[in-house]
Amino acid sequence: MKKLNTLMKSVVAGGCFLMGFTNAQVGINTSNPQAVLHTDGAKDNPSSAIPTAAQAGNDVVFTANGEIGIGTLNPSVRIDARSAGNADNAIGIGETTQTASAAGSGAMRYNPLNGGKMQYSDGVVWQDLISSPTKSVVVANIKAANFAVKVPYQVSTGISGWMEISDPTANFTPSTGIFTAPRTGVYLVSFTYDFVRIPIASGYFSEARYVVNGNTVVKKCVKSFSNTSKQAQVAGSCVAGVQLNKGDTFQPHIYQSVYNGDLSLRTDLTPASNDYGFVNLSIVEQ
């Protein structure tokens, strides 16, 4: 096909339809097509520069590779409807009475029966489309020298400096102790801690606190003490289901009112030590 090196514009139906041709590229409502066929739905593309992501959001392109981009000028797959804005990126799939064999392997349909569900054809029958994403499972503990991790008196303190044992989805940052929820849902959290041995005054207590987005305490587990001036090992644990939205951050905190000063957690660097393994955290996506 002979390339057209001269830009031509033709007005159809009283000037309501603008078509441009450039180097064998066809533009509808644009004089600066970016693909073999480029339609500018809102007629908001510039005459010379590349359209912005917002301007391309209402465009449709057909590339030389036979790919279709809806809302994007650079489709990565056969049909790509991923525009920069998320307000209208859904793809509608309708019902069909075709058999799975007639539709062929890989076809998809919406089945309205039993509350509605998506199905795909394996070439023989329509199979229900079931998603099984990898769930977040965080397991971590504190591996630190004796007296290295301290909790101030009557200050809610986020526990950081974890050693990560498991985190297949990479949603936990050990250095800060902050977990970021990959999906909206319920997360089962277990947190245990133990302080070094100290004398406890009557009525004092410690709390494990679950803090979301840096400042919202969604759960408290209180450990209180009644013996006056008696040496004891101050410890506590907290198991709870926490509702998190996608992108929420979560961090375990400790609040201690048992020692008027910086109170050290019971830690060690050596697994064989009697002080090792008392501060643990697990987060399991349900």
Map residue 54 onto helix, strand or coil. Answer: helix
The helix (run of H) or strand (run of E) holding residue 39 is: strand 37-40
Q: Where are the domains of the chain?
A: 8-80, 92-130, 137-285
Of residues 35, 34, 39, 9, the one with CA closest to residue 21: 9
Between CA 196 and CA 129 the distance in angstroms is 53
Amino acid at 197: R
Per-residue pLDDT band for 227 (boundaries 50, 70, 90) equals low
Query: Quick check: 9 pLDDT over 70?
Result: no
Q: What is the pLDDT of residues 145-164, one digit of tens each?
A: 999 999 999 999 999 999 99
- Output Rg (C-alpha) for the chain, integer angstroms: 30
Amino acid at 244: L
Between CA 102 and CA 223 the distance in angstroms is 66
Tell the CATH topology of 137-285.
Answer: Jelly Rolls (2.60.120)
Q: What is the pLDDT of residues 34-80, one digit of tens each?
A: 999 999 999 999 999 999 999 999 999 999 999 999 999 999 999 99
